[in-house]
Amino acid sequence: MIRTVCFVVLLMPCFAGTAPAAPLVRDGKAVAIVALPGNPDAAEKLAARDLIDHVEKMTGAKLETVSLDPKELDTFLAKSAKDGKVPVVLGRAAVPKLEKVLAAKGIVPGTFVLRATKEYILIAGVGDGTYFGVCELLEQQGVRWFMPGPLGTVIPEKTTLIVEEQETGQSPSFASRWFQMPDKDWQVRVRCGGPVFPGGHGLHGLPKFADEPELYALVNGKRSPRQHCLSNPKVLELVVKDVLAKRKKGLGPIMGMGPNDGRGFCECEHCKKLDGGDFDPFSNEPSVTDRYIWFFNQVLEKLGPDHKDVKIAFYIYHSYMRPPVKHRPDPRITGALAPIALDRVHGFSNPVAPEKSYAKWLYQEWGKIMPELYDRGYWSNLADPGFPFIIVHRLRDEIPVCHELGVKGWRVETFPNYASTLCSNYVAAKLMWNHKADVDSLLADFAEKFFGPAAKPMSQYVAILDTALRDSPCCTGSAWDMPHHYPEKIRAKARVLLLEATKLARDKGVYADRVQLVARAFDMLEAFVAMLDARTKCDFPSAQKELERLDAVAAKLMEEKPVAMLSMGRFSTYTNYMKRFFRPATEQGNKRVTGGNVLVASAKDEWEFLIDPPRVGEAIGLWKVGNAGGNWQTIKTSSSSWSNQGFRYYKGLAWYRQTVEVPKEFVGKRLFLWCGGVDEKAKVWVNGKPVGISPGAAFYPFELDATDMVKAGKNEIVFAVMNDVVNELGTGGIVAPVILYAPVGGKEAKLENLRPLAETFP
C-alpha cells in the first residue's frame, strides 16, 4: 500500500539585518556552481539541466557544473566558500546534510527539502523530489509553466538572482498525480508524478472467440465476443496462467484487468448467480461488480502463496461502478473510480448537481472496502470539440474532499485544449500536489504573469466563465449544453472583456499572443452557438456559414505549435467530435434546402412529449392522429435533450408529436422527412401512417420517404424515440431539427441515409 503524506511547508524566515541566503547570479555574472553526484540519475540530471537552462534564459549567465562525491560534501562547501562560489548541491550529493530532515518527511516519491543559507543551497528528494525542489526554487524566482510550450512558460528577465534563506520541505498530498494526456514534460514541471495507475480493459490469455466461443458471454441466447463468461472455470484457469507467465518474465506485480469497455455481459445462469442483485440506474442495467470482484478474488487465490505480492488494478466504471453487495474484495485489489455517466460539470457540494452527492458516496463506500482507491475521472468535457470549459470551481471543491476520503492518486482524462480550459489544468496540478493550495492566489498569479497588462479583464473573463459553469443547471456533457451554459448575456460580458484585454495587450508581444489564443477559443464558442441557433430555426445556409467560420478559427488554433491545441497525436478533438456529432446535421441540412431542393415545412423547436416506461405507446395508439389525453407536456429539441428538461435519469421510450403545415402545391410531389439526429433510435409516423425506422446510429441524420403520407394543410408528425444504451453524453431523444423537403429530381430522387434504415423497433 502506498502511504500518502500530507503536504507540509517549513520556512525559516529572514530576520531583520540578515543577508539573503545566496546569489545565483549577480549583475549578469554567474556566482553559483551546480554540483551533482558522480552517477546522476534521471531526476538529478533533469534538475541540473532545467536549473541551468532557466537561469541562463533569465539572466544570460550559464552556471558551471561539477561532479561531487557525497562523502566530500563538507570539503566541497568549504572550498566553494573560499573561492567565492555559492554551491547548489543536488540530489544524493546533498543527502549527507539533509538525510535526517528527509527521513522525517517520509518516503513518498516527490518529497523534497530545499535548504538555503548564506553559504550554500542544498536540494534533495525522494524519486523526482530533487527535480521538484529545483522547480520550487525557480518558481520562487518568478518562473511559471502555466501551459506546455514557450507560450505557456513565463521566464522573467533579471540581472541578479538571489535565493532567500529558508528550509522548505514538501511532500505531495497524493502519491500519484497524472493527467491522461500528452505533454509529460509539462506535467512533471507542475509536479505531476508518482506511480501511474495501471488499470486496463479486458482479460488476457484467452483464445479467440471463433476458437472457443463458450469462454465468452451469453447474450440473448447467443455467445458474443464482447465480454467473457466468468463462471466458466477455464476462463479463470487461462487468466491465472497468463498472470504467471507475465510474472515469469518479470512483469508486474500490479496487473491491470477487467471487463472490456462497454456492455454485453454474460447472461448465463451461473454468471448471474455471482451478482449481488443490485441495479445500476446510471448504466440502466444490473450491476456486475460482484461477479468481477468474485473473479479477481479467485485469480489472487489461485496464484498461491508464492505470488502474494501480486495486485489487480481495475477501473470502477460503467455497470461495475457501484460497490459490491455480496463479495468483499481481497485487499490486493485496487481500483480507480471512473464515473463516466455522472455530471462532469459541477463539484461534489454544488446544490444544482444532486447526482454529485451520489458520486461522493461512491468514493466513500469504495474507500471503506479498498485500501487503495484512485480517481480515473474526467476533467474534460467529453465529446466536446474544444469550446471554453473552465472548471476551477469543481476542482477546488472535489480535490480536497478526495484527499479527506483517502483517495491515493489521479489518472484523470483530460484533453490538451489549453485555450479552452485555460487555467484549469494548472490549478488541478497545484491541488494534486497540495490539496490546501490557495486557489484564489493561484488565479491572481496566473492572470498577472500570463496576461501582464491585460490581467484585470482576463481575470474577470476566467471568473465569469467559471461561475457560469458552476451555476449552470445543465450537466449532460458534450457541447449541446454550450448555449445553456453560456447564454447571450454571459457571452456579451465575456466579449467586452476580451476586447478590452486585446487593446491592453496590443503590441505587447507574448501577452497579445496569449489573449488572442483565448479569444479564438471564444470565437469558436460564438460560431458554434450561432450555428446551433440557425439550425434550430432551420436556417441551414446560415448554419453552414457559421460552421465554416468555426472551422477557420479551429484550424488556426490547431496550427499553434508546440502547444497542441485541440489535437492529441492523430486524434483531434475538434475534427473527430465535429464529424461525429455536429457537422453531419449542419451540412446535410444545408444540402437539403439548397441546390434546387426546397424546404417544404419545418418542425417547431417545441414538441409535445410523453414518456412511456412500460413501452405500450404503440399498442395503445399514441401514433394515431388526434389522440387525446395522456398528460403530454412541452419539450424543446434545442435544449440538447430530454435530460436537461427534467428527465436526467430516464432511460427508455418516449414520444414526440407536433403538427406542421404543408402547402397544397407540394402534395403529390416526392417529399422526404429528414431528421438531424436522435439519441438513439426512432420510429416515425406521419398522419398516423408509419414512415420508417432510423438506422439506430445515435446523433447521425436520417431521412424517410413521406410522399404517400403527406397531405395539404395540417400534418401530424409523431416520433417514438428509444434511448436504452447509456453513453457518456447523458442525452436522449430528438437532438436536432426535423424538416419536410422536396428534392430536386422529384420522383427520381434517392434517399441519402448514412446507414441503412432499421427494420425493427425498438
Instruction: Centre a 10 Å sphere on the Cβ of residue 176 and count the other Cβ atoms it contains.
Output: 25
Superfamily grouping for domain 597-748:
Galactose-binding domain-like (2.60.120.260)
Could you give the CA distance from residue 25 to residue 18 in angstroms, rounded to a whole number? 19
Segment 35-56 mean pLDDT: 97
Burial profile 588-604: b = 16 or more Cβ within 10 angstroms, e = fewer: bbbbbbeeebebbbbbe
Q: How far is CA 502 from CA 147, 530, 549, 550, 761, in A?
A: 20, 23, 20, 20, 54
Q: How far is CA 148 from CA 151, 384, 607, 722, in A?
A: 7, 21, 47, 44
Domain ranges of the chain: 22-171, 198-329, 597-748
pLDDT digit string, tens, across residues 725-736: 777 677 889 999
pLDDT digit string, tens, across residues 111-139: 999 999 999 999 999 999 999 999 999 99
Could you give the CA distance from residue 358 to residue 360 in angstroms, rounded to a whole number? 5
pLDDT on residue 756:
87
Segment 1-19 mean pLDDT: 39
Q: How confident is the model at residue 288 (pLDDT cuts 50, 70, 90)?
A: very high
Beta carbons of 445 and 433 less than 8 angstroms apart: no
* 543: Cα separation from own chain's centroid: 28
pLDDT digit string, tens, across residues 65-91: 999 999 999 999 999 999 999 999 999
Nearest to 435 by CA among 477, 406, 413, 473: 406
Q: How confident is the model at residue 295 (pLDDT cuts 50, 70, 90)?
A: very high
pLDDT digit string, tens, across residues 193-237: 999 999 889 999 999 999 999 999 999 999 999 999 999 999 999
Q: What are the cell numbers at 585?
A: 446535421
Beta carbons of 424 and 408 less than 8 angstroms apart: no
pLDDT on residue 565:
66
pLDDT digit string, tens, across residues 375-432: 999 998 888 999 999 999 999 999 999 999 999 999 999 988 899 999 999 999 999 9
Helix (H, G, I), strand (E, B) or coil at 87: strand
Segment 699-712 mean pLDDT: 95
Mean confidence (pLDDT) of the chain: 93
Q: How confident is the model at residue 11 (pLDDT cuts 50, 70, 90)?
A: very low
Cross-strand bridge partners of residue 536? none
pLDDT on residue 12:
39
Cross-strand bridge partners of residue 375? 337, 410
CATH 3.30.379.10 is held by the domain 22-171: yes
SS (H, E, C) 136-151: HHHHHCCCEECCCCHH
pLDDT digit string, tens, across residues 261-272: 988 999 999 999
pLDDT digit string, tens, across residues 585-597: 999 999 999 999 9
Residue 753 region by backbone torsions, left for phi larger than 0, else alpha for psi between -120 and 50, else beta = beta
Could you give the CA distance from residue 315 to residue 257 in angstroms, rounded to a whole number? 8
- The two most distant CA atoms of the chain are separated, in Å, by 102
Could you give the CA distance from residue 702 to residue 680 in angstroms, rounded to a whole number? 12
Q: Does 10 score more than 80 pLDDT?
A: no
Could you give the CA distance from residue 761 to residue 224 in angstroms, rounded to a whole number? 22
Beta carbons of 504 and 453 less than 8 angstroms apart: yes
